[in-house]
């Protein structure tokens, strides 16, 4: 770990974070060691049928009721203190923002926002949560034992009868303003991240990956781009990642531990 810290200590940094960074805040990840296999809902499934949306919103309503109370951990606070050139996160939990990070791109959006697929108006998840609670009295208490899953939902099959409201403006379908599997990350976000990674080559900087298996291309492409440009890449993650072959250093240690050491250094 010392060599990796020495490499990063005095360089400009771009940091890419994944779900492994938020596990210390009580939010489970998809692919960490011991994580059960999960099949998240795709965008195509969500828009296909009212039953799919009912299933999604019932589970997400319960998960959001718990996730909204999660607090930033030492890793989030360390990154806020480090203030890298750009913080790229694949997480939708908003904990980087809560910790004080500002030069940030939330690749997949934020679960705290809701968008109408008809008129494209965005609104607060808090407001929708209140509507869902009023339309489904007692639902949360009946399923209090449901296990929390990543991205703000729970493991629940009994969703029949759950009432899902439409957009208050146009009556359209409401969706969390996050990138589902099967959707593309908006191009302006990707281009901003590419520009930051490209800038590392001329500034002598490094790319740090914290808590991501890099399984999906949305994050892996930045590691691949950095490595091709000769930019040092440090990966901190429990378990194997897709980017290990591109890494200057790969550390199988906790994110909070490593980032706190880096901030102190």
Q: Which residues are annotated as a binding site for Zn(2+)?
A: 116, 119, 167, 170
Paired with 124 in beta bridges are 113
Alpha carbon 199 to its chain centroid, in Å, reads: 24
Q: Which residues are annotated as a binding site?
A: 116, 119, 167, 170
Look up tokens 């980032």; give the residue: 259
Q: Which active-site residues does the annotation give? A: 108
Q: Does residue 211 contact residue 236 with C-beta atoms inside 8 Å? A: yes
- Packed helices 2-9 and 255-264: angle between N→C axes, nearest 10 degrees: 50
Q: Does residue 88 contact residue 16 with C-beta atoms inside 8 Å? A: yes
Look up tokens 């589970």; give the residue: 59
CA-to-CA separations, 1 to 6, 8, 193, 233, in angstroms, rounded? 9, 11, 26, 14
**Nearest alpha-carbon partner for 157 in 38, 64, 56:** 56
């Amino acid at each position: 770990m010392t060599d990796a810290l020495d490499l990063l200590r005095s360089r400009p940094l771009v940091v890419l974070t994944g779900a492994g960074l938020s596990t210390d805040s009580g939010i489970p990840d998809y692919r960490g060691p011991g994580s059960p296999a999960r099949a998240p809902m795709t965008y195509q499934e969500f828009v296909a049928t009212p039953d799919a949306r009912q299933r999604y919103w019932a589970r997400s309503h319960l998960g959001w009721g718990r996730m909204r109370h999660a607090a930033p951990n030492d890793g989030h606070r360390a990154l806020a203190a480090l203030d890298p050139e750009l913080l790229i996160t694949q997480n939708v939990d908003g904990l980087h923002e809560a910790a004080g990070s500002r030069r940030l791109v939330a690749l997949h959006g934020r679960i705290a926002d809701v968008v109408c697929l008809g008129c494209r108006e965005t609104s607060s998840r808090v407001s929708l949560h209140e509507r869902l609670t009023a339309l489904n009295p007692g639902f949360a208490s009946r399923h209090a034992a449901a296990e929390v899953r990543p991205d703000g939902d729970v493991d629940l099959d009994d969703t029949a009868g759950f009432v899902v409201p439409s957009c208050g403006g146009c009556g359209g379908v409401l969706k969390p303003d996050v990138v589902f599997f099967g959707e593309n990350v908006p191009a302006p976000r990707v281009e901003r991240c590419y520009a930051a990674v490209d800038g590392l080559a001329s500034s002598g900087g490094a790319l740090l990956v914290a808590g991501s298996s890099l399984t999906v291309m949305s994050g892996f492409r930045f590691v691949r781009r950095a490595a091709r440009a000769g930019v040092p890449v440090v990966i901190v993650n429990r378990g194997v990642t897709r980017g290990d072959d591109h890494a200057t250093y790969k550390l199988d240690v906790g994110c909070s531990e490593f980032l706190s050491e880096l901030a102190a250094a």
